[in-house]
Structure formats: structure tokens, C-alpha cells
Structure 1
Amino acid sequence: MVASDLPIGDRIRRYRRGRKQEVVAGLVGISTDYLSQIERNLKVPTLPVLHAIARELGVPTAALLADAPPPAPLPADSTEPAIVQALMGFGPARSATPATPLQLRERVEHAWRTWQTSPNRFTDLATVLPDLIADTEHAVRAHRSEPALQRDVLRCAADLYFLLRSYLRRTGRVDLSLMAADRAVRAAEDADDPLRIAAAQWNLGHVLLAAGEADGAEQVALCAAEDVHRHIGDDDGQLAAMEGALQLVAVVAAARRRQWWAARDRLQETAAPTARVTGEGNVMWTAFGPTNVELHNVSIEMEAGEASEALRRADAVDTSELPSLERMFTFTLEVAKCYDLRREDAAVLLHLLELERLAPEDLARAPMARDIVLNLVRRARAMHARQAEALAGRMGVL
């Protein structure tokens, strides 16, 4: 099946699979070079030519016409319905025995470890999250009359909603991701836990970035970082790491507004010094530390179009200390994008195949990956194009 958002040239290339370009061009009555330019979306065929191509390929002319422009290559909502139902309040009966804080803590931390380390994390969590959401909400209600127990449960709830914020964003539900971030803020505040309040603001900043609200994300992050800074003690490394993680949100926000020098300066003047003090870590699952700061250096240069500088910086990054598979995936994807900008097709393909090995489910969901593989299919020479087409098929792009 051909994806509905593919441009005309990609559709023609897809339907021509297995037939030589020069043969089809000759039978249609156009030059091979002209057909090549059509397939690479460099030229748009006239209707008579398009009709002739469709007839030769044995498909209706309409099959070669994209239904809509492709502004959003991300697949449609792929959120597990049972997770949505649990979020909407479907849970155990009020009379059921609630889970203890210790039981919830073990389950939430296991879910987080899965999210950060499993190459098939979406499939794995789809079987875990519905019951965990329902049981956590049930425990929050059941322990209302026991303040100490309820605070422990609320901490678990905040941590769970941090995870849900990330899961929901990556499965196409930014709206529900924002709801999860809001619930995390409320749970952290009700638990009166300064570290989790800061982490909740970090999560809220990330979902605002996903919604295209860079200004709002920056404001949330900087206000939270300032508040955290006032409460950091001499031996409070966790809060210091959260302050650094919040500064990274502000760095990303500046980059999204294309304020490259502001992003670079903030990274070097705020986040980098903090990372040198805290060292590598994973406080509140933020993966904040010197390596993550270096990854943001690469991201800024990649987004600014400075591919060579980004690759130079990437060569110096050692990802072996990263606690999160997701951060490693994002780094490798950004390196692939840099090679894509330089049109180094062999390197692009090599990194895409590495991403497929690393986290195939993430690869299929990443808009940047889908763009890169389509670019490769359009412009690469025959050998690389064939491998790219096969990969695009596995990703559901073609």
C-alpha cells in the first residue's frame, strides 16, 4: 500500500518497482532523464504524460495523485486505546483493595526502565500502562484519609504521568500529553515534593515544545529553574541536576525560534557548568549530565544547518554513559540528518539501518526519519535507493 501523503514522483517510483526506468520512459514516450526528474519531484508531469505513465504502470491515474500535501509525515494516532480509556477514568471498583505505595513504586520504576531501555518500548508499555494508570488513580483516591501514604502514592502518580507525557507525545497525542503533564504538576504539588515539582515543569516545557509553543516552554523552564536555584543546598545534587535540565529546555526553545547564538550561549553559560558539577546522571529520568549537554550542542548545529560543525562535535561524543536509549536514538538520527544535508547517501543509509536495529518502533514514528528516508529514495543511486525503499517499506512510509 502506498501512503496517502506521498508526492507524485514517489508514487511513480513506487509503482515502477521492478521495471527499468529507461524502459518505462521509452514506452511512455519521454526521455529517461525527464522521468528521473519527475520521480525525484524536480518536475511535475503534464496530465497527458501522467496519464500515459499510469497506463503503462497499470494503475489508475488517480493513484499517482497525492491526496494532500505532506506537511505531517508522522503516522496517525497510534496510542493504545486501553491507555486512553484508563486516562479517562476506567478503573477498578472503589471497593477493590488499593495497591500499596511500595507496589506502585516498583511498577512505575519498572515501566520507566522499559521506556528508557527497550527497543520495542511502545509495544512493551501498551500491555503495562492501562492497569498501572487505573491502579495508581485508585490508590490516590483510596488513601485520601492517610496523608503520609497519600504523599507516597502522589509521588508515584507524578512519576507515572511524567512517563505518560513522553509516551503520548510520541504516539501522536499531543493533546493527551499536555493533559498528562498537567496531572503530573498537580500530583507533584499535592505531594509537596520540590524535586518532582521541578520535574513536572520540565515535562510541561517539553510538551509545550512539542505543541510549537517555544515561548511558553522557555517561560515555564526559566521560571522553574529560578525557583529551583533558590532552594538548592550545598549537597543537593538532584535539584542542581533538575535546574540544569530545565535550562536545556530553554536552550531548545531558543533553537526552535532560530535564535542559534542565544541557544549556544545559554548552553555554555548555564547548562554546561551545572553538568560539570553534577556529573552524569538520570535524575527524574532527564538523563542530565555532560553527555546530554554535548548532544544539545550537536542538535543546535544540526537545526542551524551547520552540518559539518554538528558532525565534528558528534565525533567527540561518547554515548556509552547515556542511561536512555531514546537520547542515543535522537543523537544517531540527528547525525543521519547531518549526512542527509551533505547528501552523503551511504552514511545516511548506514545510520538509518543502525537506528532500525537500535529502536525500530521509534524509527517508524519519527517525522525526521521519515523525511530522511524519502529524501534518500528520491535522490540516491540505484543500490542505495533500493535499500532505502526496502527500509521505507518496513517503516510504513511506502
Structure 2
Amino acid sequence: MPRHISEHIGERIAKYRKLRRLTQRELAARAHISYSMLAKVEQGVKPATPAVIAAIARALFVQTVDLTGQPYLAELRQDELDILIQPIREALDLYDLGADPDVLPRTVDELRSEADQLCALIRETRIKDAARALPGLIAEATTAAHTAPSDAAWQVLASTYRTAYDITTKLGYSDLCVVALDRMAWAAERASDPVLAGVRQYLRSIVYLRSGQFDLGRRLVGVGMATLEQADVGRVRDVAVGQLHLGAAMLAARSGDGDTSAEHISLAARISEATGEAVRVHWLSFGPTNVAVHQVATLAEQYKYAEAVQVAEQVRVPDEWPASRAAAHIAEVARAQLWIGRPEASLTSLQRAREIAPQQMRYHPMMRETVTGLVSAHRSTPGTLTGLAHWAGIG
């Protein structure tokens, strides 16, 4: 059954706040956010930024997923996605068992082709299809790498672990996404691939970004940059370096350092002029579009919502850009539109994000919280919003 509309991040914050015997003003002071913002978030009137959620989680000594309510098990069961998680969990535990005598692996080229297909499915937000195929591919790639070790075989295995990270992150399984990154590091080391290792550090920094551990995230970006210095000079390395700059920009923005964030955006923009759109290079979607999208996100993280919306109006997302990235950007814009008092525009943006990436958006905390805010903002709920809330499992 769908969740009741009152079960939103703000209500969970209030629950944990009362357990800690804190007033709203005391929690706001501990989290270094304004009292008025906390009050609006607790009421469900306005959606919290990831930075605010992370700050409140730290102040309450809980994890961010305790506040977001992830994973959303009721909806996962409705979509029959929950039954696909355990096979992934088991596949991630096969890494050190050697070759499976019951598995006859295909060639490395064939395995690489399927690994790329799964990456493409994730970018198309066909999460269920990718999750269904992944455990078998991990088992086969593991056996191939142990049977005939080569840089190429280990690279393919690292790619499967990257896909496991993508799936578990999008579905809200934070524990598994960390395990997947550990496995990716293990395979990248055996592949002697500094770019893979650098990409892994970028992904790892994003995990710490989500949990609000910005200093650790920045250290990981630094390690990633140093690792990439060992890679061959060229477009592939430039793409990875540019993406690390975008990660650093987000970390700086969420920690309140707008100048450093802007500097990293500028550095990434310069790199993107040389690389162009690099949608398939390690599936990072780096390029001028991603730089522009990150500029919008960093402004929103600094509560510069009007400026974020203004910049977003100038962003033109190419048709070939991954649906996963396009939808996440549009959801970011929808949140900013709600904050500046444009609920109708926000609803239109959310509907568009849903159309582009329905599986991903159904499990996206920002989407769900913005819908909650829209419901609170309307005295009489339009049918389109009612349907959106019901679909998201919050009304």
C-alpha cells in the first residue's frame, strides 16, 4: 500500500529530534542551519537539500538513510525489485573464491560488451533489467578473471562492480554500494588501471558527499587526482580529472565554500572544452552539459535557488544525454522552483523527470520530498499531483 503523505523526511527528523530531547532551535543550532528552514522541512512544506539532510543527520547521530527512509521497501516490493537485491549481494561475495567450475565464461570481449550494455541500461534508467542480469555477469566475469588473468579481464570485472554500485545506490542500499566500491578497487588494482582507480575514488567521494562527510570526500578527490597522474595523457584521463573537479565542486558547495566550488566548476569547464561531450568514457557523462548541470546543483546547495533556476533555463540537454542524468537535473530544478514559490513550474518539472526516468525517480529522495512539499503548498490538490504522489508512494 502507498505510504501516508505525513511520512516524509521532515516527520522522521522530528521523530529523531524528540528522541534526542531537542527543540527545533537546539537542533538547528547543532546542525548549523536556520530555525525557519528546519521548521519548514519538518512540516513538509519545503524539501530539504541533501546538505541539510546530512547536517541534521550528523547532529542527530543517525545516518542520512534513517531520515530519507531508504530503501523504500514497499515500493520495491510492488515493482519486484527487492527480490533482485539478494542475488547481487551474494554475487559481490564471490570475488575471492576463484573460478567456479560450473561456469564456462565467454571471451573477454563478449563479457566487456555485456558489461557495457548493463552500463547503458543504467543510463537509460532500466534498473530492473540491469539488476536482473548483473549477478550472472559478475559470476561469469569473476571466473574469467581467475581462469585467465589479464588487465582486460580484471577491467571487465571492475565494470560489473561499478554497475552494482550504480544499482544499489539508486535503490537506496547504501551498505551494498560501499561493498561494491571495495570490490571495484580490488579488481582495478589487479587490472593495473589508474583511471579505473581514479574513477573509483570519485564514486567513493560521492558516498561521503551524501553522508555529509565533506572533509573525507575532499581527501578522496585528492587521492583520485594523484592516482590519475599515473595514467596515460589523453582524453580518457582528462574526462576522469574533469569529473573529479565536479565532485570537488559539490563537496565545496555543500560545506559552504562557494568560492572553491566555483573554482572547480571553472576548471572542469576548461577541461570540457577539450574533451567535448564524453557520455561513454567510463560512463561518467562528462562534458559541457555535465559542467552546466553541476553549476545549477552547486548553486542550489548554497540556497541560491533563484540563481540556480536562472542558470538552468540556459542549459540545453542534448538528446543523446543519459536519461538518468537528465532526470536528476530536472528534479534538482523542480526543488529550486518550489523554494522560490513556483509550485506549478515545479510540478511540470517533476512530471517531466518521471517521464524520462520513471524507475529512477520513483526511488529518488529529492523527487519524493518535492512532491510532499507541493502537496503541502496546494490547498486543493490537482489531479496530476495526486497521481504523482500516489505513484511515488507518499500519498
Q: How does 1:239-388 map to 2 (within 5 A)?
A: 239-268=237-266, 270-282=267-279, 283-320=281-318, 323-384=321-382, 386-388=383-385
Report the counterpart of residue 16 of structure 1 in structure 2.
none
Aligned residue among 115, 124, 127 for 2:122: 115
Q: How does 1:44-123 map to 2 (within 5 A)?
A: 71-76=67-72, 78=76, 79=82, 80=84, 81-89=86-94, 93-118=100-125, 121-123=126-128
Secondary structure of the structure 2 residue equivalent to 1:397: coil
- Contact residue 98 and residue 142 of structure 1 kept, 8 A: no
Q: How does 1:230-245 map to 2 (within 5 A)?
A: 231=231, 233=233, 236-245=234-243
Gaps of 5+ in 1: 12-39, 44-69, 145-149
Q: Offset at 1:156?
A: 0.2
Gaps of 5+ in 2: 12-41, 46-65, 77-81
Report the counterpart of residue 136 of structure 2 in structure 1.
131
RMSD: 2.7
Report the counterpart of residue 54 of structure 1 in structure 2.
none
Secondary structure of the structure 2 residue equivalent to 1:88: coil
Cα distance 1:321–1:275, how it changes in 2: closer, same or farther (>3 A)? farther
- Contact residue 273 and residue 288 of structure 2 kept, 8 A: yes
Equivalent AA in structure 2 for residue 83 of structure 1: I
Aligned residue among 368, 374, 392 for 1:395: 392
Instruction: Select the structure of larger CA radius of gyration.
Output: 1
Q: Offset at 1:42?
A: 9.4
Secondary structure of the structure 2 residue equivalent to 1:319: coil
- Contact residue 205 and residue 218 of structure 2 kept, 8 A: yes
Q: Offset at 1:230?
A: 6.0
Cα distance 1:95–1:166, how it changes in 2: closer, same or farther (>3 A)? closer
Cα distance 1:366–1:281, how it changes in 2: closer, same or farther (>3 A)? same
Report the counterpart of residue 178 of structure 1 in structure 2.
178
What is the number of residues matched between the two proteins?
332
Q: Offset at 1:261?
A: 2.5
Report the counterpart of residue 154 of structure 2 in structure 1.
154
Give deviations 1:48-102, integer Å, cap 9, x for gaps.
Answer: xxxxxxxxxxxxxxxxxxxxxx832444355522222222339984243222211
Secondary structure of the structure 2 residue equivalent to 1:127: helix
- Contact residue 208 and residue 214 of structure 1 kept, 8 A: yes
Cα distance 1:7–1:115, how it changes in 2: closer, same or farther (>3 A)? closer
Using CA pairs below 8 Å that are at least 6 residues apart, which structure has the higher relative contact order?
2
- Contact residue 122 and residue 361 of structure 1 kept, 8 A: yes
Secondary structure of the structure 1 residue equivalent to 2:367: helix
Equivalent AA in structure 2 for residue 176 of structure 1: L
Hey, what's the Cα distance between the residues in 2 that align with 1:141 and 1:292? 37
Give deviations 1:30-57, integer Å, cap 9, x for gaps.
Answer: xxxxxxxxxx9599xxxxxxxxxxxxxx
- Contact residue 253 and residue 299 of structure 2 kept, 8 A: no
Hey, what's the Cα distance between the residues in 1 that align with 2:7 and 2:362? 19
- Contact residue 92 and residue 183 of structure 2 kept, 8 A: no
TM-score, normalised with respect to structure 2: 0.77
- Contact residue 181 and residue 207 of structure 1 kept, 8 A: no
Cα distance 1:95–1:330, how it changes in 2: closer, same or farther (>3 A)? closer
Identify the range of structure 1 (365-374 vs 79-88) with the bigger mean alpha-carbon deviation.
Answer: 79-88
